[in-house]
Amino acid sequence: MSQIFETWRHVFKLDPDRELSDEELEAVCMSGSDAILVGGSSGVTYDNTVELMSQIRRYELPCAQEVSTLDAVVPGFDLYLIPMVLNTDRTEWITGYHREGLENFGELIPWEMVAAEGYIVLNPDSTVARLTGADAGIDARAAAACARMADKLMRLPIVYIEYSGMYGDLDLVHEVRRVTDEAVVFYGGGVRDYETARNAAAAADVIVVGNIVYDNLTAALDTVRGVRDFI
Ligand code: 1GP
């Protein structure tokens, strides 16, 4: 079964806990990006997720929720991405919350709209690394092992290289993609302008752009062009 993210190259990740004006949101949604991901590591609630989703829904591009807490799963997205952190030993972030969700809602889940992400968390200073207790200092060889675990052993459809807040080691990203055959490789972290986007696009399949949307919208919009120009 083909999934909508297989054709994506650039996505913006918007945080329900942060504010954008209507004009800013319009610029993001009309930028030529392939999709909007809604999610964040802290402060995500049902209410702020509904609010952001309904604003994005005025535009045509696909909108996916990246689920980080069971309390904030909102119906109405095109796709639900479920992170499973591969470089942590805290089992709740690998299968624990997942099992809890499935015990409660397993019968109700529209599986054709769900995809799991094998997360490799690589910035030790990020909220996601602290929250999940990820062993974020791993080298390219260990990251490649995580990618193979996702792609070959678990057959997850997405490998997500998460440098949230810092620009990553693109050699590591290349190595992860080299060893990944079936899964789509997402890269996120520190993409903040045309150049960083273009270079990241050479290393991964899908470039995720987050923080810069809130810090410098013009530069964020340039990342779409950077990815397109690489293609
Ligand atoms: C965060 O991977 C995304 O989950 C994007 O990272 O916020 O650093 O762009 P940035």
Residues 189, 124: Cα–Cα separation, whole Å: 12
| Domain 7-230 belongs in CATH node 2.40.50.140 | no
Express each pLDDT in 124-164 by its tens digit. 999 999 999 999 999 999 999 999 999 999 999 999 999 99
Q: Please, what is the average pLDDT of the chain?
A: 97
Q: Is the CB of 39 under 6 A from ligand 1?
A: no
Residues 85, 146: Cα–Cα separation, whole Å: 9
Express each pLDDT in 36-92 by its tens digit. 999 998 899 999 999 999 999 999 999 999 999 999 999 999 999 999 999 999 999
Structural domain spans, the chain: 7-230
Q: Is the CB of 157 under 6 A from ligand 1?
A: no
Q: Is 161 flagged in the annotation as binding?
A: yes
Q: Is 168 flagged in the annotation as binding?
A: no
| Ligand 1 atom at minimal distance to the Cα of residue 39 | 4
> What's the 199 CA to ligand 1 centre distance in angstroms?
16
For ligand 1, mutation pick of 65, 121, 164, 173 (most atoms within 8 Å of CB): 164
Threshold 0.85, pTM exceeds = yes
Express each pLDDT in 166-206 by its tens digit. 999 999 999 999 999 999 999 999 999 999 999 999 999 99
Of 160, 184, 171, 167, the C-alpha closest to 226 is 167
